[in-house]
Structure 1
Amino acid sequence: MAGGSNTIRFIDHKVASPSFTELYGEGMQLVEETAAYLDGEGRREAKALVRPVATLYAAESMRLTTRLMQMASWLLLQRALANGEMTADQVDSEKSKIRLDGNAPGVELENWNALPEHFRILVQRSLRLQARMQRMDLNLAGDDMADDFGEGADNPVNTQINLLKTAFGDR
């Protein structure tokens, strides 16, 4: 309950939901898998690339790791909220430092298809997961904004109902 009213904060329930738990597991697994790839097989594959492709690989691997770190930060904040380790206000403050948008790879670039296949698959998986997180973040933000229309708040529906009551008398 928020602010002592009888408003239910759906955001608190969503971050504890099975869909969030699945997203969290998938995100953290992708972070680990990508780190292992970039430190092992990816490093070996990058050494065999010709200069223009190697330059693209370096740029895209930086974008990939940045994207994954942003996503992991968002997941950890949501988990901290679900576990009661942080308040919604603390999460909102920290979340303002996280970007779940941008950094899309140049799949239409000339050398994109010359990149190692495993690397391209990791990039695509990260983008799909990022899109899911963006949708969930918007969904959570929408529920959080809905909480602002609790009792005593400036609720547009209540405003219209009150106008009708005034016009027709409170029966």
Structure 2
Amino acid sequence: MSTGHEEETVPAIGTIFFSSTYDEALALTREARAYLAGPGQEAVQELSSEQSFGYATESLRMTTRLTEAMSWLFFQRAVQAGEITAEEAQDKDCHLQHADVCLPDIERDVSELPEGLVSLLGRTEHLYRRIARLDQMAIHAYERARS
């Protein structure tokens, strides 16, 4: 019997791939926290005022990338677990929203920043770009399923 509330079937991201991406994002989040609370605090004390500003800017960019990535992954996990519907996952808040901050158009010179931060910046940017592609794939998959 139809209740009128049947869930649309939308291809889900592979569980193994999703799990490894989630684990990677969580590990990067923990690593970034440990770096910023420890070696990063020591390294920033040795920087000039201009370099300190760059450090703060890039640290916030990194934190935003990780926050957005983890949020997106939590929403995808909720869809896979049946906690929210694929339709609910199309809400603006369930998608990446700050690409303009996370992936700026201008090339930034990070050569004078501490090596640990530069490493984290590169890895979080790579993760964010991958999740941005997955986000677009999820949007397109949902749209195809609806048509």
Please report the TM-score for the alignment, with normalisation by the length of structure 2. Answer: 0.85
Asked if structure 1 preserves the Cα contact closer than 8 Å seen for 2:25 and 2:127, the reply is yes
Deviation by residue 1:9-52 (Cα, 9 ceiling, x = unmatched): 21xx32x5211111111111111110110011111111111111
What whole-Å deviation, never above 9, does each CA across 1:80-117 have from its counterpart, x for those lacking one?
Answer: 11111222233222315x425222366543xx211001
Query: Which residue in 2 is equivalent to 1:166?
Result: none
Give the Cα separation in 1 of the matches to 2:108 and 2:10: 43
Residue 38 of structure 1 aligns with which residue?
36
Partner of 2:87: helix, strand, or coil? helix
Structure-2 separation of matches of 1:3 and 1:62: 42
Query: Match for residue 94 of structure 2?
Result: 95
The higher-RCO structure (CA 8 Å, 6+ apart) is: 2
For the Cα contact (< 8 Å) 1:9–1:144, is it kept in 2? yes
* Residue type at the aligned position of 1:92: Q
Task: State the TM-score, normalized to the length of structure 1.
Answer: 0.74
**Secondary structure at 2:60 match in 1:** helix
What aligned pairs does 1:43-58 form with structure 2 within 5 A after superposition? Answer: 43-58=41-56
The equivalent of 1:9 in structure 2 is 10
For 2:82 and 2:6, how far apart are their aligned partners in 1? Answer: 17
Give, as a single letter, the amino acid of the residue that structure 1 aligns with 2:58.
E
Whole-Å separation in 2 of the counterparts to 1:100 and 1:81: 22
Q: Secondary structure at the match of 2:100?
A: coil
C-alpha RMSD of the superposition: 2.2
Partners of 1:90 and 1:148 lie apart in 2 by 13
Which structure 1 residue ranges, 5 or more long, are not aligned? 150-171
| Paired residue type of 2:127 | L
Q: Which runs of 5+ in 2 are unaligned?
A: none
3-state SS of the aligned residue for 1:62?
helix
Match of 2:67 in 1: 69
CA distance in structure 2 between the aligned counterparts of 1:128 and 1:145, rounded to whole angstroms: 26
In 2, Cα distance between the equivalents of 1:108 and 1:59?
A: 11
1:22 to 14, 20, 27: 20
Asked whether the equivalents of residues 22 and 73 of structure 2 are also in contact (C-alpha less than 8 Å), the reply is: yes
Describe the superposition over 1:39-71 as per-residue Cα deviations: whole angstroms up to 9, x where unpaired.
111111111111111111011111111121111
